[in-house]
Amino acid sequence: MKNFILVLAMAAIAFACSNEPKNPLLGDYGTPFETPPFDRVKNEHFIPAFREGMSLETKEAEAIASNREEPTFQNTLEALDKSGIILDRVQNVFYALHGANTNDEIQKIANEITPLLTKHRDDIMLNESLFQRVKSVYDRRGSLSLTDEQAHLLDETYKKFVRGGANLSAEQKKRFRELNEELSTLSLKFSENVLKETNAFTLTIENKEDLTGLPQEVVDGAADAARKAGLEGKWVFTVHKPSMIPFLQYAKNRALREKLYTAYIMRGDNNNEYDNKRIIAKMAALRVERANLLGFKTHADYVLEQNMARTPATVYEFLHKLWEPALKNAAKEREEMQKIIRKEGGNFALAPWDWWYYAEKVRKAKYDLDENELRPYFKLENVRQGAFEVARRLYGLQFVERKDISTYSDEVTVYEVKRADGTHVGLLYTDYFPRPGKRAGAWCGGFRDQERRDGAMVTPLVTNVGNFSRPAGDKPALLSPDEVRTLFHEFGHALNALLQNQTYRMLSVPRDFVELPSQIMENWAFVPEVLGLYAQHYATGEKLPASLADKITRSDKFNQGFLTVEYLAASLLDMDWHTLATTEPVDANGFEQASVKKMRLIPEIISRYRSPYFAHIWSSGYSAGYYSYIWAAVLDADAFEAFKERGLFDQATAQAFEEHVLAKGATGQAMKQYMKFRGKEPAIEPLLKRRGLM
């Protein structure tokens, strides 16, 4: 043990000596709660900080591997869990910027550092001496007195090494490294291409008549976008959803709807320098080869071994159980819209770029509900405060804005999260508006995860990032119902990160369980009791009228056929890509077309994500896992039943959900944790009823 401590001490001294004071990413930040000092961080700091972080983690790993004492849980597993903290910190800061505030220089750094990081991770996972120590403890696990969390860490760490190639031959390890490096580089290139394609297209309107049908706030937003682009007196729309979706919903000009929608679905498929078809075909083939090396038939088999679903067959069976009734509902919705087209004298068949436009007409006709009636009551700041109030009533949390925390953009707001008694829980950074340097979509990330280090609580630094409607003209940011739902969704992820109470930072929940905390939060967004907390008119302060709240409730199954089908189509497309068994690249478009034909997707609906811009599965960790949202929807619908039965803010139910799901979801098997909360396995019927599928 003395030798082991000496090596670690030497590594710490080396770090102290090599830590140049000018690099703010290394050493103590000296900031409130040790938050990243964005006001001092420059792009030039990242490469040296990455190299120093990798060097330190290598020394820490070598110290563990070369320890001459018998391997124990403490000197091997716990030591591994404590290693790499500096590198993690640097990565968290850099990749937050890469996703939310990137530029050419940051992308250049990413291209340089990605292969180095991949090699570094492989060096640790393929360290034979290190693996043998982990294996030694794992082989003796039955005789060890471990807590459930410790046993779970041991099991997960051993699997991580095996899945990281530790059992491969020398020749196989060499190829495994090559595959990982090429895959990481291709994934990065894919992301850059999608961002550039997204930013490259604009629909510039010069004729005011082409704006017919658009709400005034949408017109004002397009005028603001034009002014920023130096196109005074014109109107600019983009394929960012806050700009595109309102245009598709309300613009009477069908040709322009088609032009905008086509630009969106053709991203990465334009046979230009940003084309992604060859990249994804190559990635799919390389993933198969890597899975084969590790003893799996397909990439999906490799991924799902770690998830609740376990096998591709289980996922397919689950998706197809939902597919038939959803497709039937979507076909009915299509016919309703086609009737409107005929009634208005149209002699054309409904097309994908028409769906949003005529769905709004159906909503108005069936429920007397116009989405634009709702937006004035959904001021972003009020919606966020509503989510905060739900968290206060459920978990006793308070959110206090902190203006002394440095951020990477002026559009970021920071909140200190506290318990009712004032105990510090963590920080939440919110960043809600689209900009050229931000990738599309919404996500929850962070600069530091919760853990217990040497018995002391390390509190999390969590981010919520979105691309919501910007303020337009003299109006504040007014959200669509879908954006309200997304804000609550990502906030649910944030609550999960903030309320975690685990010892070991290396533990994480399965991909198909991680969406439960986010999706259950969506349930509170539109219930009348919660609407009364936040939905008030931005100009008058008037509360959302009960008649409008009632319309929201009555229309809760509106368009669910479309929403479920476009999502399931993407999930099936993902599974089809990742149950490929060939190591030869396929024709990407031909493969996608065959997949769509096999699932019998109606032509009026396009998969939520087409392959060339399906970032979830090519660059965001959801490969063979996009089904996770609907899998978790079964869990969240079942879990919310408990709140409906006992009260939306029932303290005992909320406490049980926090204890077993939010706080401890990563510390044991996911289904066991869920059953500790619910007392039984989840039922699928609540989800089917919610979506009108039964």
pLDDT in tens, 317-328: 999 999 999 999
Could you give the C-alpha distances from 411 to 224, 285, 635, in angstroms and in order? 17, 40, 34
Name the nearest CA neighbour of 260 among 236, 293, 224. 236
| pLDDT of 694 | 78
Question: What is the rounded distance in angstroms from the CA atom of residue 303 to the CA atom of residue 299?
Answer: 6
Which tokens hold the place of 46?
């990242």
| pLDDT of 637 | 96
Question: What is the rounded distance in angstroms from the CA atom of residue 172 to the CA atom of residue 47?
Answer: 30
Question: What is the rounded distance in angstroms from the CA atom of residue 575 to the CA atom of residue 311?
Answer: 11
Please give the backbone phi and psi of residue 458, each rounded to the nearest 5 degrees, phi first: -105, 115
Residue 639: pLDDT over 60:
yes
Name the nearest CA neighbour of 657 among 670, 641, 638, 676. 676
Residue 15: pLDDT over 60:
no
Question: What is the rounded distance in angstroms from the CA atom of residue 199 to the CA atom of residue 560?
Answer: 30
Please give the backbone phi and psi of residue 235, each rounded to the nearest 5 degrees, phi first: -135, 130
Specify which residues 448 forms β-bridges with.
461
Question: What is the rounded distance in angstroms from the CA atom of residue 524 to the CA atom of residue 309?
Answer: 27
| pLDDT of 1 | 42
Mean pLDDT is lowest, of 1-10, 42-51, 517-526, 545-554, for 1-10
46, 48, 51, 52 alpha-carbon torsion, rounded to 10°: -110
Q: In what order do the strands lie in the sheet with 412-419?
A: 397-401, 412-419, 424-431, 461-465, 443-448
Query: Between 694 and 463, whose confidence is greater?
Result: 463
Burial of 1 (0-12, 13-18, 19+ CB in 10 A): exposed
Each residue's pLDDT tens digit, 366-418: 999 998 999 999 999 999 999 999 999 999 999 999 999 999 999 999 999 99
Give mean pLDDT, residues 659-665: 96
473, 477, 478, 483 alpha-carbon torsion, rounded to 10°: 140
Share of the chain above pLDDT 70, in %: 97
Residue 2 pLDDT class (50, 70, 90 cuts): very low
Question: What is the rounded distance in angstroms from the CA atom of residue 499 to the CA atom of residue 399?
Answer: 14
Question: What is the rounded distance in angstroms from the CA atom of residue 127 to the CA atom of residue 119?
Answer: 12
Residues recognised as catalytic? 490
Question: What is the rounded distance in angstroms from the CA atom of residue 350 to the CA atom of residue 357?
Answer: 10
Please give the backbone phi and psi of residue 176, each rounded to the nearest 5 degrees, phi first: -60, -45
Residue 421: pLDDT over 50:
yes
Share of the chain above pLDDT 90, in %: 94
Residue 17: pLDDT over 80:
no
Length of the chain: 694
| pLDDT of 16 | 45
Q: Are 638 and 582 in contact (CB under 8 A)?
A: no
Question: What is the rounded distance in angstroms from the CA atom of residue 133 to the CA atom of residue 230?
Answer: 62
Residue 6 pLDDT class (50, 70, 90 cuts): very low
Write down the pTM of the prediction. 0.93
Question: What is the rounded distance in angstroms from the CA atom of residue 640 to the CA atom of residue 647?
Answer: 10
Each residue's pLDDT tens digit, 235-286: 999 999 999 999 999 999 999 999 999 999 999 999 999 999 999 999 999 9
| pLDDT of 399 | 98
Q: Which domains occur in the chain, in start order?
A: 2-167 (1.10.1370.40), 201-265 (no CATH), 277-369+560-624 (1.10.1370.10), 376-554+629-690 (1.10.1370.40)
Please give the backbone phi and psi of residue 413, each rounded to the nearest 5 degrees, phi first: -115, 140
- Which residues, 6+ apart, have CB-to-CB distance to 98 below 8 Å? 106, 107, 110
> H helices then E strands: how many in the chain?
28, 9
Question: What is the rounded distance in angstroms from the CA atom of residue 443 to the CA atom of residue 486?
Answer: 9
| pLDDT of 397 | 98
| pLDDT of 18 | 47
| pLDDT of 21 | 58
| pLDDT of 692 | 87
Mean pLDDT of the chain: 95
Nearest 5°: CA angle at 396, between 390 and 398?
80
Give mean pLDDT, residues 75-83: 98
Please give the backbone phi and psi of residue 534, each rounded to the nearest 5 degrees, phi first: -130, -20
| pLDDT of 20 | 47
Query: Between 9 and 298, whose confidence is greater?
Result: 298
447, 450, 455, 456 alpha-carbon torsion, rounded to 10°: 60
Place of tokens 């008694």: 421
| pLDDT of 4 | 40
Say how many CA atoms lie within 13 Å of 21 toward its Cβ: 0
| pLDDT of 12 | 46
Residue 693 pLDDT class (50, 70, 90 cuts): confident
Each residue's pLDDT tens digit, 477-487: 999 999 999 99
Give mean pLDDT, residues 188-209: 97
Please give the backbone phi and psi of residue 528, each rounded to the nearest 5 degrees, phi first: -50, -40
Place of tokens 């991580």: 160
Question: What is the rounded distance in angstroms from the CA atom of residue 385 to the CA atom of residue 475?
Answer: 18
- Which residues, 6+ apart, have CB-to-CB distance to 286 below 8 Å? 179, 182, 183, 186, 583
